[in-house]
């Protein structure tokens, strides 16, 4: 009979097996809880955040030009335009471009919004023709609109036609400021997005350099396209 108690060993192994299974069950349960917690944490941290300004990308392409992409439009130019997020909103995008670390170019694109005269009036026009409802055929930047005032006429801000395009003229502005305007139309540029949705743009531009040139705004306008 005493030799029969050797078979108690399997009983001990059985208890060990139960204990081992118990540990594995607890470990598995803790792992599941940890995984759920990590998933909740990751989603709370990594989800999209709302912003009044859509994301912008700059993609380098051939010809030493970069493409600036917005939710509603895109354009190309030499150098790099940077979105000024502090001054941009849902209906306005303000871009800046530097020359040798000095701010030289400022462009504002209004979306379905016409700015007040203070921000709209300019001495020059860039007449454009709308092509395929989504882009522009560009002409040349005009001479100062002061030429459209009669001799002795008070130099107040008013709408005038420059090269067959209407702008709000600021005749005495010393800045090289330009407003895009449709030939036989005005500065309210009515286009369509690829899905057919109507969209209106008002585009103003300033070159604050000592020797301003039209090259940059012509590059932008000639490559402008709705998205």
CB 167 within 8 A of CB 181: yes
pLDDT in tens, 36-69: 454 444 444 333 333 445 545 555 554 689 999 9
User: Does 183 have pLDDT greater than 90?
Assistant: yes
180 pLDDT above the threshold of 90: yes
CB 170 within 8 A of CB 122: yes
Determine which of 39-43, 133-137, 148-152 has the lowest per-residue pLDDT on average: 39-43
Which residues contact residue 59 at a Cβ distance below 8 angstroms, ignoring those fewer than 6 apart?
66, 67, 69
Q: pLDDT of 55-112, one tens digit each?
A: 455 555 546 899 999 999 999 999 999 999 999 999 999 999 998 899 999 999 999 9
| 161 contacts: CB under 8 Å, gap ≥ 6 | 148
Report d(CA 213, CA 223) in Å as an integer: 18
- The pLDDT, as a whole number, for residue 184 is 98
- What percentage of the chain has pLDDT greater than the value 90? 71
For position 64, what pLDDT does the model report? Answer: 84
Q: How far apart are CA 34 and CA 48, in angstroms?
A: 24
**Model's pTM, two decimal places?**
0.75
Greater model confidence, 137 or 27 = 137
**For residue 179, how far is the Cα from the chain centroid?**
20
Ordered DSSP codes for 114-180: PPPHHHH-BSEEEEEEEETTTEEEE--PPPPGGGGSPTT-----EEEEETTEEEEE-TT--SEEEEE
Closest CA to 208 of 126, 96, 66: 96
Q: Provide mean pLDDT across the span 118-142.
A: 98
Average the pLDDT over 116-144 and give the result: 98
As a whole number of Å, the CA-based R_g of the chain is 32
Q: What distance in Å separates the CA atoms of residue 222 and residue 63, rounded to the nearest whole number?
A: 15
Give the SS3 label for residue 5: helix
Supply the pLDDT for residue 48.
Answer: 34
């Amino acid at each position: 009979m005493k030799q029969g108690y050797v078979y108690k060993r399997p009983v001990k192994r059985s208890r060990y097996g139960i204990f081992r299974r118990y540990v594995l069950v607890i470990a598995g349960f803790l792992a599941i809880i940890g995984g759920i917690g990590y998933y909740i944490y990751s989603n709370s941290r990594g989800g999209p955040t709302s912003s009044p300004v859509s994301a912008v990308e700059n993609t380098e392409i051939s010809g030493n030009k970069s493409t600036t992409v917005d939710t509603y439009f895109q354009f190309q130019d030499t150098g790099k335009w940077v979105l000024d997020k502090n001054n941009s909103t849902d209906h306005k995008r303000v871009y800046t471009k530097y020359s040798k670390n000095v701010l030289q170019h400022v462009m504002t694109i209004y979306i379905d919004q016409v700015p007040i005269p203070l921000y709209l009036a300019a001495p020059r026009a860039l007449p454009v023709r709308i092509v395929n409802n989504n882009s522009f055929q560009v002409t040349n930047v005009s001479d100062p609109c002061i030429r459209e005032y009669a001799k002795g006429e008070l130099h107040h801000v008013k709408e005038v036609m420059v090269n067959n395009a209407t702008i709000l003229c600021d005749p005495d502005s010393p800045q090289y400021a330009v407003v895009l305007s449709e030939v036989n139309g005005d500065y309210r540029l009515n286009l369509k997005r690829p899905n057919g949705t109507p969209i209106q743009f008002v585009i103003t531009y300033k070159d604050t350099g000592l020797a301003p040139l039209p090259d940059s705004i012509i590059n932008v306008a000639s490559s402008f396209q709705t998205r």
